[in-house]
Structure 1
Amino acid sequence: MEKTTISAETKKSKFPYWLQLALIFFLGWVFMYATRNILSASMVEIGDEFKLTGVQLGLLNTLFYLAYTLSQIPSGIIADKIGLKVVLVFGFVFYGIFTGLTGIAASFTILLIMRILVGIGQGTYYGPQYALSSLNVPKKNRGVGNAIINSGMAFGTSLGLIGGGFITSKLGWRYNFYIFAIPVFLIALLFQFVIRKNKASEQERPADHFENAEEAHAEHKGDRRNIIAIFIIVFCSFFGFFFIQSWLPYYLQVERGIAPENTGFVSSLVAWSSIPGALLWAHLSDRLKTRKPFMIGLLFFAVISTLGAVLLENFPLLIVSLILYGLTGKLGLEPILVSAIADNAPSTNPGTLFSTFNSIGVSASILAPIIGGFLQDKTHSLQGTFYLAAGLAFVGLLVALFIYREKKSDAQVSVA
């Protein structure tokens, strides 16, 4: 396989390969998140049709994320062995099929099975996708590249909440799954024709250069500590996001008295506000060549905004809190964390590493929906789960302050 450096390729093309990847991966996340959030937009209607409790509604998302999490590491290992592109294309086709079939579910049990199968398919995406982007995006553009990719999550969240709410009100909740399955197959075709076929193991980053073995050992030990710290932070950050993603429309409608036709728009403010925030934080972290201060600052304001969603009774202030959470919560923070993982990652098996990173983060999503449903049933309120989410974000803040250490080395990346 002919190899070329990132810098050589970017000079030759006004639309370099890394940017092509960033854009198609952006689209991948748009429809990954859209197909998740059409469920959130339909929860009241699904609950009424199948006569479900809060725990049962939460179980729809919990089992989805359980399957999503458990398929992460195996799919990353397989992708490192047989090729990143193969796993991406297969996974998208698989989850597209069962997204469409969700619309024909005639019972709650079948609905649960469909959610599990969709979760398995979606679980094949994160590790191979970020392995490809980390290997192909120049380090000087790494934060911005990850922010472009991650902004698809925000667009998808808004598309799922607003589009899903509209389709549900006009055609019924089942048509959400029929309609949103179609673009999933189109994205799979884009992956097939744009992504270059390769294995992660065939792409090597030059090793860091050290003066002696002791320096190399100390640096690699620091890398491992940083990776563990990032794993803790991502769990703490993801819990609040996936709780909000699963339950915010319900919370706004039931506890805040917002009209059903408006909950999708209000909920989508979290996603829309995250786009400029993620791009700005990522650009600044690339330019300043630092990640830690952004982790600390974003986690601090995520704590404040999560508490504000409960404590601020004034509706305009609630909107401000949701926008602030969008700017500083999971969607704003994740590009920084992904870049930090890439900064500290070894050159081998990147698919496995990124799959592990995401499976740890998304393990919080297994707990968040069901905990929210449990507390809703027991206390008739979701406020306790907001407090729990804020507490976990504070734990992540402490880890960023006292455990994570900025990586000093600045190795260049190469692409095949």
Structure 2
Amino acid sequence: MSKDLPPQSDTLAEAIPYWKKIVVVLSLGWIAIWIYRTVLTPIYPEIQASLGGASDAEIGLIASLYFLAYTCAQIPAGIMVDRVGQRKVLIPGFSCFLVGAFLVGNADGLTMIYIGSLFAGLGCGSFFSSAYSLSSEHVPLQYRGIATAIINSGAAFGMAFGLIGSSYLVKNVGVEWHYLLFFIVALLAVIIGLYALILKNKEPVPKQEPQQAKTPTNQRSVLFSPVMISAYIMYFATNYGYYMIVTWLPSYLQLERGFEGFAIGFASALVAIAAIPGALYFSRMSDKYRDKKVKFIISLELAAAVTLVLTVLAPNTTILMVSLMLYGLLGKLAVEPIIISFVADNVSKSGYGTTFSLFNFFGMSSAVITPYLTGFISDMTGSKVMSFYLSAFFIIVGTCVFFAINRKKTPELKTA
């Protein structure tokens, strides 16, 4: 009798829809990426000491090189996803990420850390286009919002784990910082295995007769229209402030505000923790009031600029912590889904892939500049306070440009 029964594990696996598996494994991907991005930032002083007193600019270059490789990989990765499918891009990409993390973990000098950062950034660059094309293809329309929120929450959780975990393990327990990278290597090995097990290969698309060729000139005119350029500028400014916080806030809290040990990671992680409800709430409000997206974006950006300034002006720890929570609630992770939705409203569905690759390329280019420039300013002035003001200034300029171009525009949803 038992011979006729299918294996219980197979039945359970088939009972879980493919799109739900995708959501889980993609959220794990963001968790791994953001643990790596933040695991070193709370312990920059310890890394500097282990390397014989490297300057802030040299330490900032670790993140800048990572983001340089990550940014350069965006458009090629998007093209490869369209040609060979997400599975054949993600698995080699995360394997490259694993090699980079392993090199950093074994590094005994800055040169090897730089090389490992380049490998890690190149590998992580495979994720963005793969993840969001997968979810767009397979998640049912009625669940797309909540699915995207769950996937994106992996970034917030990864950031919290990286900041709190490294602060506690290195500063309180005394774990040598290199070992944190080996944990990431092990996590990546598991994720690569899950991708190989769960993700499906791209189905071959039958060749079609060459119909009306899309005119590249027309596509370029949309990609570089004033509205799109304003979105690129806005996203650049948004990311500049965010990646300044991600890379240098822990060091600022320790060296300029007197935070110690676990408190450094916990205070920094407040940005990620507060971002989750903020992103869910404002995205829902934006969907409900679709004609007010420009107003939502401008209001949130200005609020983010104020909270960045308030962070360095805070006279005591309580106001400082409130400022960080407000930045998380109102800052990049809250406004990003609305900006993405605004961009989608202004291009045709057939141009989503190219548009979002270019959009993310411009946005992430700020992450290349921010870590090194903040370190350089710190070396020159002895403080990172000026970098907070500079971040707020960029946001205000970006917001003014965005407002000037879009103040009278009600975007139309294009479906062609």
TM-score (norm 2): 0.85
2:40 aligned counterpart, secondary structure: helix
Shift in Å, 1:34: 0.4
1:281-332 CA-to-partner distances (Å, cap 9, x unmatched) read: 1122223335323212211210111111111222111111100100111111
Give the 5 Å matches for 1:60-71: 60-71=62-73
Match among 64, 73, 77 for residue 75 of structure 1? 77
Match among 93, 102, 105 for residue 104 of structure 2? 102
RMSD over equivalenced CA pairs, Å: 2.7
**Alpha-carbon distance in structure 2 between the residues aligned to 1:22 and 1:123:** 19
1:91-110 CA-to-partner distances (Å, cap 9, x unmatched) read: 11220232123111121111
Residues 142, 339 of structure 1: 8 Å contact kept: no
**Alpha-carbon distance in structure 2 between the residues aligned to 1:267 and 1:151:** 17
Which residue is equivalent to 2:130?
A: 128
Shift in Å, 1:123: 1.1
**Alpha-carbon distance in structure 2 between the residues aligned to 1:224 and 1:180:** 41
Q: Cα gap change, 1:141/1:295 in structure 2, threshold over 3 Å: closer, same or farther?
A: farther
**Alpha-carbon distance in structure 1 between the residues aligned to 2:130 and 2:354:** 8
2:370 aligned counterpart, secondary structure: helix
1:71 aligned counterpart, secondary structure: helix
Q: Cα gap change, 1:196/1:340 in structure 2, threshold over 3 Å: closer, same or farther?
A: farther
| Structure 2 counterpart of 1:347, one-letter code | K
Match among 309, 312, 322 for residue 311 of structure 2? 309
Which residue is equivalent to 1:8?
A: none
Match among 193, 197, 201 for residue 193 of structure 1? 197
Which residue is equivalent to 1:282?
A: 283
Which residue is equivalent to 2:167?
A: 165
- Bigger relative contact order (CA 8 A; separation at least 6): 1
Which residue is equivalent to 1:407?
A: 411
Which residue is equivalent to 1:42?
A: 43
Which residue is equivalent to 2:263?
A: 262
Match among 90, 96, 111 for residue 92 of structure 2? 90
Q: Cα gap change, 1:68/1:317 in structure 2, threshold over 3 Å: closer, same or farther?
A: same
1:36-68 CA-to-partner distances (Å, cap 9, x unmatched) read: 111112211110111201111111111111111
Structure number, greater radius of gyration: 2
1:198 aligned counterpart, secondary structure: coil
Match among 357, 360, 368 for residue 370 of structure 2? 368
Percent identity of the aligned residues?
A: 35
Which residue is equivalent to 1:322?
A: 324
| Structure 1 counterpart of 2:202, one-letter code | N
Which residue is equivalent to 1:249?
A: 250
1:171 aligned counterpart, secondary structure: coil
**Alpha-carbon distance in structure 2 between the residues aligned to 1:190 and 1:341:** 32
Q: Cα gap change, 1:25/1:392 in structure 2, threshold over 3 Å: closer, same or farther?
A: same
Residues 102, 116 of structure 2: 8 Å contact kept: no
Return 5+ residue gaps in structure 2 as ranges: 1-13, 207-217
Residues 347, 414 of structure 2: 8 Å contact kept: no
Which residue is equivalent to 2:233?
A: 232
Aligned length: 386
**Alpha-carbon distance in structure 2 between the residues aligned to 1:140 and 1:295:** 24
Match among 182, 186, 198 for residue 178 of structure 1? 182
Shift in Å, 1:137: 4.4
Shift in Å, 1:86: 1.3
Q: Cα gap change, 1:145/1:299 in structure 2, threshold over 3 Å: closer, same or farther?
A: farther
**Alpha-carbon distance in structure 2 between the residues aligned to 1:15 and 1:233:** 39
Shift in Å, 1:410: 6.2
Shift in Å, 1:259: 1.2
| Structure 2 counterpart of 1:95, one-letter code | F
**Alpha-carbon distance in structure 1 between the residues aligned to 2:102 and 2:272:** 25
**Alpha-carbon distance in structure 2 between the residues aligned to 1:225 and 1:52:** 43
Q: Cα gap change, 1:64/1:31 in structure 2, threshold over 3 Å: closer, same or farther?
A: same
1:389 aligned counterpart, secondary structure: helix
1:258 aligned counterpart, secondary structure: coil
